[in-house]
Amino acid sequence: MANLTLFHNISSLLTMSGAAKKGARFVVQDDLGIIGKAAILVRGGEILWVGREAKLPKGLVPRGAKLKKIDLGGRTVLPAFTECHTHLVFAGNRHDEFEMRMRGASYQEIAEKGGGIVATVKATRAASLKDLVATAQVRAEKFVRQGVTTIESKSGYGLRTKDEMKILEAAGKVKGPRMVRTYLGPHAIPTEYKGRAAEYIEKIVRTDLPLLHKNGFACRVDIFVEKGYFELNLARTYLSRAKEMGFDLAVHAEQLSHSGGAQLAVELGARSAEHLIEITEKDVRALAASEVSCVLLPAADMYLQCNYPPARALIDAGARVTLATDFNPGSSPTQSLSLVGVLARLEMKMSLAEVLAAYTIGSAHALGLEQKLGSVEPGKLADLAVFESDWTELFYSVGDQNAHSVWREGKPLFI
């Protein structure tokens, strides 16, 4: 008989059950499914029962069964957060570009002069697998302390087979949180393929995608659809091919200009479209009518001093909106979930309930994990974030939102 664990003495538990039922669309406060004086019964990492502690059905704990009790001291419990868009594995940093941007250079101008993504590519190619794992481990733990148990990690700073695989392998060696790896070979055109983006796409479709099938390093693929990077026709070729091969699709779409990436994501049934700053009303309608999760990344918008995506229009039209840090050394050198949430509230006019749903059930959807994560309900995994403060105080203070403890499948990741 699997061991039973009872998490109890919870002052309020945000189950997110209503938000989960609605597929993380049109979320209002009632959808947070708040239970006071709650308890959660867990068996083998899976949630067996959730409710008011006083109402725990006796029959669920058979006589003689081993029951471990974890007293959460009257704290608040939420489904653990899912950080669904990061570029976690890279070497070096680009603090110099921040200063250049403040002196007037644009992100694109810096890239044209050999800075930007390709600068990180140089440093990452030179780094060993061991060093990449070590830095990624430290970064992952920083996310975990904030209540995260699932981290998406993109490649894209290798831009040649062995280095793309090295990055994905490094992400796979991170211990603790659940790592979801995404291949982003078409993140930028490698210098060896300058002016030959189509050949690069052809090459990675021929070599990297089949290799990923074999080594299992990623079951999702992404592409940066943007002028000067990969334009729409190439993105269509790449994503269609990947889809045929059974990969889940994500798209960096409409970040710096309108390139058609959002509509392409809808057309191909991508799991997510990410950034979505320069979207049109037509895009909003198409996204809202689709299953595509809209991953908004306001920390990158803050650093690049561009517009924020029209979160209100998307949410009010019925789109599933999620949030993430986009942590990377260029456009978003921050791992702060609180900054992301505060920007979402301040600049994108999202309600606190919408932010909480975005970071839990919404981001679980973005990674195709909504059956297992994102809400605290029977049948789901016991991934829990425990906070000292009341839930109404979350995403209020920037830079200061560590959890009291974080549990993955009923086991402690951080206390």
Binding site for Fe ion (CB under 5 A): 326
Taking CB under 6 A as the rule, does residue 116 contact ligand NIG?
yes
Minimum Å gap between C-beta 168 and ligand NIG is 16
Taking CB under 6 A as the rule, does residue 252 contact ligand NIG?
yes
Instruction: Report the residue closest to ligand NIG, judged by CB.
Output: 330
Minimum Å gap between C-beta 239 and Fe ion is 16
Taking CB under 6 A as the rule, does residue 117 contact ligand NIG?
yes
The piece of 122-130, 207-215, 284-292, 329-337 that touches ligand NIG (CB under 6 A) is: 329-337
Closer CB to ligand NIG, 116 or 410, in the complex: 116
CA-derived radius of gyration, the chain: 21
Map the footprint of ligand NIG across residues 69-98, applying CB under 6 A.
Answer: 87
Binding mask 253-272 for ligand NIG (x = CB under 6 A): --x-----------------
Minimum Å gap between C-beta 84 and Fe ion is 11
The piece of 68-76, 112-120, 310-318, 387-395 that touches ligand NIG (CB under 6 A) is: 112-120
The piece of 172-180, 325-333, 349-357, 377-385 that touches ligand NIG (CB under 6 A) is: 325-333
Among 17, 120, 263, 272, binds ligand NIG (CB under 6 A): 120
Residue 404 has which token pair?
């009291």
Minimum Å gap between C-beta 256 and ligand NIG is 8
Minimum Å gap between C-beta 235 and ligand NIG is 13
Closer CB to Fe ion, 205 or 251, in the complex: 251
Taking CB under 6 A as the rule, does residue 298 contact ligand NIG?
no
Instruction: Report the residue closest to Fe ion, judged by CB.
Output: 326
111-147 residues labelled b (16+ CB within 10 A) or e (exposed)? beeebbbbbbbeebbebeeeebbebbbebbbebbebb
Closer CB to ligand NIG, 163 or 370, in the complex: 163
Taking CB within 5 to 8 Å according to partner kind, which of Fe ion, ligand NIG, none is near residue 331?
A: ligand NIG
Among 6, 300, 319, 344, binds ligand NIG (CB under 6 A): 300
Among all chains, which residue has been given the structure tokens 């140089």? 122
The piece of 51-59, 127-135, 322-330, 406-414 that touches ligand NIG (CB under 6 A) is: 322-330
The full 3-state SS of the chain, as one line of letters, equals: CCCEEEEEEEEEEECCHHHHHCCCCCCCHHHHCEEEEEEEEEECCEEEEEEEHHHCCHHHCCCCCCEEEEEEEEEEEEECEEECCCCCCCCCCCHHHHHHHHCCCCHHHHHHCCCCHHHHHHHHHHCCHHHHHHHHHHHHHHHHHCCEEEEEEECCCCCCHHHHHHHHHHHHCCCCCEEEEEECCCCCCCHHHCCCHHHHHHHHHHCHHHHHHHHCCCCEECCEECCCCECHHHHHHHHHHHHHCCCEEEEEECCCCCCCHHHHHHHHCCCEEEECCCCCHHHHHHHHCCCCEEEECHHHHHHHCCCCCCHHHHHHHCCEEEECCCCCCCCCCCCCHHHHHHHHHHHCCCCHHHHHHHHHHHHHHHCCCCCCCCCCCCCCECCEEEECCCHHHCCCCCCCCCCCEEEECCEEEEC
Taking CB within 5 to 8 Å according to partner kind, which of Fe ion, ligand NIG, none is near residue 224?
A: ligand NIG
Taking CB within 5 to 8 Å according to partner kind, which of Fe ion, ligand NIG, none is near residue 117?
A: ligand NIG
369 CB contacts (<8 Å, ≥6 apart)? Answer: 82, 150, 180
Taking CB within 5 to 8 Å according to partner kind, which of ligand NIG, Fe ion, none is near residue 255?
A: ligand NIG
Distance between CA atoms of 184 and 158, rounded to whole angstroms?
Answer: 9
Map the footprint of ligand NIG across residues 215-244, applying CB under 6 A.
Answer: 224
Taking CB under 6 A as the rule, does residue 328 contact ligand NIG?
yes
Binding mask 343-362 for ligand NIG (x = CB under 6 A): --------------------
The footprint of ligand NIG (CB under 6 A) covers 87, 116-117, 120, 224, 252, 255, 300, 326, 328-332
